[in-house]
Amino acid sequence: MNIPIVSLSDAGKSYNDLDVLKSVTMQLNQGEVMGLFGHNGAGKTTIMKLILGVISPSRGKVEVMGMAPDSKEAWHSRSKVGYLPENVSFYEQLTGLEVLSYFTKLKGFTNKKAKKQAIDLLEQVGITHAMKRQVKTYSKGMRQRLGLAQAFIGEPKLLLLDEPTVGLDPIATRDFYKTVDQLKSNGSSVILCSHVLPGVEQHIDRAMILSTGQLLAMGTLAELRQQAALPVAIKPSGLNGSVANDNKLNRFLTANCPDTLMVPEQEKLTVLSQLLNHEGLADLHVESANLEQVYQHFLSLTENSLQEPLLQVKGATS
């Protein structure tokens, strides 16, 4: 039986009377990429700190590679963990090569191997041209690349990335996701936090959506679409308005999208078959709900539930 790389069982964290994380249960398997999504203050960074062993859970249990990450026994497994915080910070007076060589030594590399690993990683993230410059001369994007290089040291078994593409240009972002895909194919597990949902969607296996410290939903994108019951958008072309006269199809038209049918997932094939019977059909564009739409759906459920008591109070006092 394979032991999960990360396991949270009813894990929660409180500071005095404030619950910042409320009984979250999740597992991360080997070679899996988990997207962790939520607004600022949703509990994403708290989960990462629990996994790193920087803080301990107030209740429940956290295990990383089979042991509690905040225990003395977990020290030897920390070299197998890579972490990129949301705001990277390095010694300003050191060069990029000196910074990375220092971190590779902390991960257990000897002096000679540490320098070679550092140079290889700097090349991988595209800043070898600046490796002998002091970090204080680096732009925000270059510092982010240096942070990524630090997180990738030793091809970690577990990689925690908090807003990793902040400050990166499109080419650097593309190269970053290539590296994540490569690490995954080599068996590494990744937890990735990002507010840039369109860029993340095709690189994750599952998603966790958090709000105000509680888990709203978790699963593959297909599973989350099913839970949310979001419609499929089908846009035909070449029919010249004949869909509006088709009683089997016109009920799926909306005022906001008069040329697009918004169809429940379970009726998609029936609608496509009906459209194919129409003469003049030139093309079809079918688009399921994307990650951003799924995220907004689950977040809106929470916002509505928070507003309901307020509406009741207002009604009682009117």
Does residue 124 share a domain with residue 210?
A: yes
Q: How confident is the model at residue 269 (pLDDT cuts 50, 70, 90)?
A: very high
Residue 34 forms part of a structural domain: yes
Please give the distance of CA 280 from its chain centroid, rounded to a whole number: 42
Question: Mean of the pLDDT values across residues 306-311?
Answer: 47
Does residue 240 share a domain with residue 122?
A: no
Question: Of 178, 205, 223, at which residue does a domain stop?
Answer: 223
pLDDT at 12 over 50: yes
Comparison of pLDDT for 26 and 307, the residue scoring more = 26
pLDDT at 307 over 60: no
Does residue 244 share a domain with residue 103?
A: no
Q: Are 68 and 62 in contact (CB under 8 A)?
A: yes
CATH label of the domain that carries residue 67: 3.40.50.300
According to the model, what pLDDT value does residue 310 have? Answer: 43
According to the model, what pLDDT value does residue 317 have? Answer: 43
Residue 293 forms part of a structural domain: no
Please give the distance of CA 250 from its chain centroid, rounded to a whole number: 37
Comparison of pLDDT for 239 and 80, the residue scoring more = 80
Question: Mean of the pLDDT values across residues 256-278?
Answer: 89
Does residue 194 share a domain with residue 67?
A: yes
According to the model, what pLDDT value does residue 110 have? Answer: 84
Q: How confident is the model at residue 316 (pLDDT cuts 50, 70, 90)?
A: very low
Q: Are 146 and 99 in contact (CB under 8 A)?
A: yes
Question: Mean of the pLDDT values across residues 253-279?
Answer: 88
pLDDT at 30 over 90: yes
Does residue 28 share a domain with residue 124?
A: yes
Question: Of 175, 193, 223, at which residue does a domain stop?
Answer: 223
Per the structure, the complete domain to which residue 184 belongs is given by 6-223
According to the model, what pLDDT value does residue 312 have? Answer: 45
According to the model, what pLDDT value does residue 2 have? Answer: 74
- 82 bridge partner residues: 159
pTM comes to 0.84
- 193 bridge partner residues: 36, 162
According to the model, what pLDDT value does residue 315 have? Answer: 46
Q: How confident is the model at residue 37 (pLDDT cuts 50, 70, 90)?
A: very high
Question: What's the CA gap between 306 and 242, in Å, rounded?
Answer: 43
User: Which stretch, 71-85, 86-100, 168-182, has highest mean pLDDT?
Assistant: 86-100
Residue 312 forms part of a structural domain: no
According to the model, what pLDDT value does residue 242 have? Answer: 84
Question: What's the CA gap between 212 and 65, in Å, rounded?
Answer: 28
DSSP state of 303: H
Task: Mean pLDDT check: name the lowest of 18-27, 194-203, 213-222.
Answer: 194-203
Does residue 214 share a domain with residue 170?
A: yes
According to the model, what pLDDT value does residue 311 have? Answer: 45
Q: What is the mean pLDDT of the chain?
A: 88
According to the model, what pLDDT value does residue 265 have? Answer: 86
Does residue 246 share a domain with residue 131?
A: no
Per the structure, the count of domains in the chain is 2
Task: Mean pLDDT check: name the lowest of 29-33, 69-73, 299-303.
Answer: 299-303
Does residue 167 share a domain with residue 257?
A: no
Does residue 135 share a domain with residue 240?
A: no
pLDDT at 64 over 70: yes
Does residue 260 share a domain with residue 122?
A: no
Q: How confident is the model at residue 313 (pLDDT cuts 50, 70, 90)?
A: very low
Does residue 269 share a domain with residue 213?
A: no
Residue 262 forms part of a structural domain: yes
Would you tell me how many other CB atoms lie within 10 Å of the CB of residue 258? 10
Does residue 140 share a domain with residue 269?
A: no
Residue 166 forms part of a structural domain: yes
Phi/psi of residue 104, each to 5°? Answer: -65, -35
